[in-house]
Structure 1
Amino acid sequence: MGFRPVHLCFILFFVIACISCTSKPSIDPKIEALVAQKLMLDIRYFCEKSELDVTTQRCTAPVTTLPDDLKEMIADTGVGGIILFANNLVDTEQMLRLNRDLQTASTNGGHSPLLISIDQEGGRVVRIPQNISTAFSGNMAIGATYAEHGTHFATLSGDVIAKELAVLGFNVNFAPSVDVNVNPENPVINVRSFGEDPQVVAELGLAQMQAMQQNGIIAALKHFPGHGDTNTDSHSGLPLVEHDLNKIKAVDLAPFQYAIDNGDPGMIMTAHIQYPALDSATFTATDGSKTILPATMSRAILTDLLREQMGFRGVIITDALDMAAIAHFYEPTQAVLQTFKAGTDIALMPMAIRTAQDIPKLKRMIADLAYAVQIGDLTLAEIEASVARIQTLKQNYIPSNAAQLSPAKALARAQSILAAPAHLKIEQDLADNAIVAIKNQQAWPIKQSTKRIQLVMPDKAKCMAMTTALTDALNTFDPRPKLTIRCASLVSEPTDNILAQQRDAQLVIYTDITPQQSLVEMGGMDDITDWRLRPNKEALEAKLLTLMKDVKPHQKSLLVSMRTPYAVTQYADYLDGIFASFAYNTQVTEQLDENGAAHAHHEGPIYRALANILLGNQQATGSLPVSVGKH
């Protein structure tokens, strides 16, 4: 008896279904739910297909309101956390709404509250708009106050930063950085470190961490086992630290161990750095090359050292997995798989979600990771213990009544806390106490006979901030109607023009920003194109030196080092004075002129502090937290 066509179709369908079942085994949804809790995504940009850049096919539309596709993704997958960037944050009401919608999406999916995280270190790395928040001068400025004030400003800054984040709906801050900056060429940490003394870094890091956590924000100490002696940015390459075990323990690990022994860190963030003295095992990269495992991928470092030997019981989170130090060597799912094997609890930014077409890829990643658990490539007991740590952290820090406050009351509360007068006073106090006088051969206080001052600032915004600060200080304390202040942008103004201007001045004030802005300050890997287009630092340094050498004996000149002060040694012989400020943050507001036209107005605490010191209204009382040589 022959088969009818309908029977043949049925048999063919059955065979294909069986093959499909073989190639795509059934995935336990309970394991998928566990794995999803261990992922923290960024939603920096999201586009409809029609919104992609025609030339690059990239999405650069910031997520400021939560699209339905992302709401459904959070509800469907049960991812454990979201990280937000400056692009996502516009104003107080918008931030509150976005964070509330994120939590609602998770709740609607029947999941635990999201960890909503941010990089709000203070200083060079801040994401909340600076015109509506308190940004502070940063860690190295705090380090400069340690000799006279101990942990005072670490505690106060941590307290303020946490209060302002919590009232907006954040619950995780990737701070403080407790890297010990012992490398003058460090391109990514520098002023983000409290200094070069491991004990000082340890004490300040613990104080800031505890202040944040006492105000309901989970602190994430970073970057374990230490990013302080690198000359490569892990956003663009894979750094190598060749310290021996004794130095690693005494320098790199010391602040982390101090926090574990004396506090209760909620999180520790890993570093994408090779530490061969801790783990010399190699792996084969996607291009076939062999290289040493970075710490983020090392079980010897994350489990054997951090958990077993150092006694850390909190949550381990990776640094962003889209950084070149990882993405260049691993496919996304491979990277997550390897870091979970190493002992990481949360994989940060494991893949980019930029369009609706990326969401099935995320679901595939979750399924693949769950399958790795099912076949024993990942240990179920370790995954369950990891998720239990995450849930405990959420229960301890995310208030159960967070959603009960009405939007209007939440907005009023946030507006009363963000940039509150008491917070701004602490910000100014830190700036006032952080400035270090490195050299002064009668360069300041500015003499009454000085009638013409030439400023040479990195750009026009900083020109405005410094000019405004000097003008305001003069009007308040020392009116000099005939004093002229001019400012030139080092980047945009030709050398000959600046030379002509400064030759007419009695006092020339230069500023230096070394090293250049890093990717983390700009945001992350999405900014790499703009980062590569930065002005050439060597050319700017040569230009600055040319200007300094042209100063005449009858003129006074001084330099303000506005980042790490290591570079001042190359300029010191040509100057009468040198300051270190460790910061150059400006706050931008819109002001109307007498004709009703709007203009951007730049100012900042560090400029006000510098102006008052230059005019003799206050003293520079800070102490260098790093060594800068004989000068």
Structure 2
Amino acid sequence: MLCITRACLLLLAVFNLTLPAVAMAFNPAAKDVSVRQMLGQKLMLDLRYYCEQAPVNGQCRTPMTTLPPELATLVRDYDIGGVILFAENLHSIEQIVQLNRDLQAAAGSAKLKLPLFISIDQEGGRVARLPRSLATSFAGNMAIGATYAAHGTKFAAEVGKVLADELLPLGINLNFAPTIDVNVNPQNPVINVRAFGENPQQVAELGGAMTAAMQQRGMIAALKHFPGHGDTEVDSHLGLPRVEHSIERINSVDLLPFARIIQQHNPGMIMTAHIQYPALDNSSFVSKDGETMLKPATLSRKILHDVLREQLGYNGVIVTDALDMAGIAKFFTHTEAVVQTFAAGADIALMPVKLQHPGELSALTVLLDALEAAVNKGEIKKAELAASYQRIVALKQQYPLLPAQTSVLKQVQQAQQTLGNAAHRHSELALAKAALTQVKPATAVWPFKLTEAKKLLLIMPDQSKAQALAAALQHYSKDHFVVDSISLQQTDVSRAAAQIAAADLVISGFIAPMQSLADIGGMDDLTGIANIAAAYERQTLQYETLLPLINTQQKPHVFLSLRAPYDISRYGQYADVVLASYAYNTAEDPAVMAAGNATYEALAQALLQQYPLTGTLPVTVAGYND
């Protein structure tokens, strides 16, 4: 049950013995709040890294796991509205609980005494920030889409419930999920399996079920990425994508899930996309480098106000995607970006400035000075600022942002009992199994049985995935296998032909496309993505060298599509059996059962033919279901 009245919030505050009792006893009236305080509520800060001193070379890479006094002071003095946490901030239950309580205590000591939005990208599947061995992360949205034909919205609702139940005891009250982009482009580098599929009605239904489940449990959901990121071939972390859809197609495909969920489920937040939609807004801007370009949705009043507010009737909080992404930062200074997105109608600017060491902290003061000046000059209208502030306050009143438990000890105990518990791990495995899709052969009868093979060769993207599948096969099989493996990260595959010759059966897996910055965290990983791209190219070359060797030696072969199933069009021809899992992640220890390796447990049981495969492809794969 949600705590939706001010009296209820005050009652929670009275019984919170560790956080200040006044933390929830706030006056929401904009007339009593300064312009600067309202602007502070409209900022959501990234505290991923923090160094006590400015790094001599390069960026700070020290994870912020405890709240430094100077950052607590910023939250307090500027009445900051929210923060976003990343994997680097989240190590153990005790540490996460204490960090979030310290953040809320800092907000509780501010003049407004408004609790913080403490947010996270815990979508499940590819994008999960909590350690997979600690929290239940599931197989992701496209896996849920694969279960729709047999199970309807069952798994969407179950995943939403579990995500909320595990995040709230940690003190995290806002989840940037679900992703409701309609993935109609097989070349999409950043969405693909983060989408439920390519059918907008099904995306709407599944996204609505997940939204409702999270919000009924007390977790604020944030739909993303408005007005739709499903038909792009550019990652907005790295550039500015453009969607050339007609108005008719935009309304029937891209906007449909947003429209339906707004009508039916009142989502707390909607996140913007750094993406150009010329049919919605063909106005231009001049970038900081002097280039004339079409305005992206995040900075477009026509899209955020005219379409989202007026056409779709959305009255909740609009939050930008991260403003450090190249889709914005490449073309605007951070101050320009925040001023323009607020003028366009966004309520909250996500990650507006870097605050990674003491030398950068003044950037927040400079930003707020500039925003206050923009209000005084009329670039941001005062009436719209007050209305935006009221939307933020209304959302903070609607949900119990502070933890229900009254002490650190009780909160930690509740989290320990909830995160990754047996029931949640059972749901995690159930989804992985229900999603698993047999794409080839077309009949249930396979041309071989794995149980009749003694020597298996696993060709996998890396050693941890080979280890996860080998451990699961040994765990679920009554017979012992001799398992050899080839990692596609190996630089020397000179023994591959001999390894293939010695095997009774080959199981190969591939992950396509390569990881995006969304998978690994964001723009602070820009250097690492270059290394990932180079490694991915080597893996692809290695894999495409090995596939003909398997065929030449006429070995029984199972191909596992471990991410977006579009790669089946390319590699399915080499295999007798083709399975799609839509997920590839392993936990920190890949060999452990019921602790974050559910995809590989489901694959092992499927390979051993221990359950019927009922998953169906939720997207079109050329040559198979087109």
TM-score, normalising length: structure 2 = 0.91
Cα separation, 1, equivalents of 2:447 and 2:248: 45
Structure 1 partner of 2:475: 472
The one of 476, 488, 491 aligned to 1:490: 488
Worse-matched range after superposition: 548-557 or 404-413: 548-557
The residue type paired with residue 112 of structure 1 is: L
Structure 2 partner of 1:515: 513
CA contact (8 A) 2:489 2:538 kept: no
The one of 597, 600, 619 aligned to 1:604: 597
Task: Spell out the pairing of 1:32-431 with structure 2 (5 A cutoff).
Answer: 32-49=36-53, 52=55, 54-56=56-58, 58-110=59-111, 111-399=113-401, 402=403, 405-431=406-432
- CA deviations over 1:166-224 (Å, ceiling 9, x no partner): 11101110000000000000000000000000000000000000101111111000000
Offset of residue 538 of structure 1: 4.0
Offset of residue 493 of structure 1: 4.7
The residue type paired with residue 36 of structure 2 is: E
Cα separation, 2, equivalents of 1:411 and 1:219: 23
Offset of residue 554 of structure 1: 4.2
1:456 equivalent to 2:459? Answer yes
Structure 2 partner of 1:617: 610
- CA deviations over 1:112-143 (Å, ceiling 9, x no partner): 00000000000000011111110000000000
Offset of residue 432 of structure 1: 0.8
Cα separation, 2, equivalents of 1:241 and 1:350: 25
CA contact (8 A) 1:506 1:554 kept: no
Cα separation, 1, equivalents of 2:288 and 2:136: 43
Structure 1 partner of 2:586: 586
Cα separation, 2, equivalents of 1:404 and 1:537: 45
Query: Unaligned regions of 5+ residues in structure 2, if any?
Result: 1-31
Offset of residue 403 of structure 1: 7.0
Cα separation, 2, equivalents of 1:600 and 1:46: 35
The residue type paired with residue 73 of structure 2 is: E
The residue type paired with residue 75 of structure 1 is: R
Structure 2 partner of 1:25: none
- Go from structure 1 to structure 2 and tell me whether the alpha carbon gap of 1:617 and 1:316 turns closer, same or farther (over 3 Å shift): same
SS in 1 for 2:147: helix
Q: Give identity over the alignment, percent.
A: 48
Worse-matched range after superposition: 565-574 or 139-148: 565-574
1:567 equivalent to 2:570? Answer no
Cα separation, 1, equivalents of 2:596 and 2:517: 24
Offset of residue 263 of structure 1: 1.2
The residue type paired with residue 79 of structure 1 is: I
The residue type paired with residue 573 of structure 2 is: D
The residue type paired with residue 282 of structure 1 is: S
Offset of residue 479 of structure 1: 2.1
CA contact (8 A) 1:443 1:556 kept: no
Worse-matched range after superposition: 435-444 or 59-68: 435-444
Cα separation, 2, equivalents of 1:181 and 1:315: 25
Cα separation, 2, equivalents of 1:199 and 1:226: 14
CA contact (8 A) 2:137 2:596 kept: no
Query: Unaligned regions of 5+ residues in structure 1, if any?
Result: 1-27, 592-598
Cα separation, 2, equivalents of 1:377 and 1:543: 55
SS in 1 for 2:186: coil
CA contact (8 A) 2:136 2:596 kept: no
- Go from structure 1 to structure 2 and tell me whether the alpha carbon gap of 1:157 and 1:163 turns closer, same or farther (over 3 Å shift): same
Offset of residue 331 of structure 1: 0.5
- CA deviations over 1:315-365 (Å, ceiling 9, x no partner): 000000000010010011110000001000000001111112222220121
- CA deviations over 1:386-421 (Å, ceiling 9, x no partner): 000000000111256x37611111111111111111
Cα separation, 1, equivalents of 2:363 and 2:107: 19
- Go from structure 1 to structure 2 and tell me whether the alpha carbon gap of 1:175 and 1:444 turns closer, same or farther (over 3 Å shift): farther
Offset of residue 447 of structure 1: 4.4
- Go from structure 1 to structure 2 and tell me whether the alpha carbon gap of 1:106 and 1:238 turns closer, same or farther (over 3 Å shift): same
Cα separation, 2, equivalents of 1:222 and 1:556: 42
Cα separation, 1, equivalents of 2:594 and 2:425: 18
- Go from structure 1 to structure 2 and tell me whether the alpha carbon gap of 1:603 and 1:471 turns closer, same or farther (over 3 Å shift): farther
Cα separation, 1, equivalents of 2:279 and 2:185: 18
Offset of residue 145 of structure 1: 0.1
For the aligned residues, what is the CA RMSD? 1.8
1:546 equivalent to 2:545? Answer yes
Cα separation, 2, equivalents of 1:226 and 1:464: 37
Cα separation, 2, equivalents of 1:444 and 1:83: 50
Structure 1 partner of 2:4: none
The residue type paired with residue 513 of structure 2 is: P
- Go from structure 1 to structure 2 and tell me whether the alpha carbon gap of 1:42 and 1:514 turns closer, same or farther (over 3 Å shift): same
The one of 525, 528, 535 aligned to 1:527: 525
Cα separation, 2, equivalents of 1:373 and 1:399: 29
Cα separation, 2, equivalents of 1:237 and 1:338: 19
Worse-matched range after superposition: 526-535 or 186-195: 526-535
Offset of residue 588 of structure 1: 2.2
Cα separation, 2, equivalents of 1:322 and 1:177: 20
- Go from structure 1 to structure 2 and tell me whether the alpha carbon gap of 1:332 and 1:506 turns closer, same or farther (over 3 Å shift): same
Structure 2 partner of 1:13: none
SS in 1 for 2:579: strand
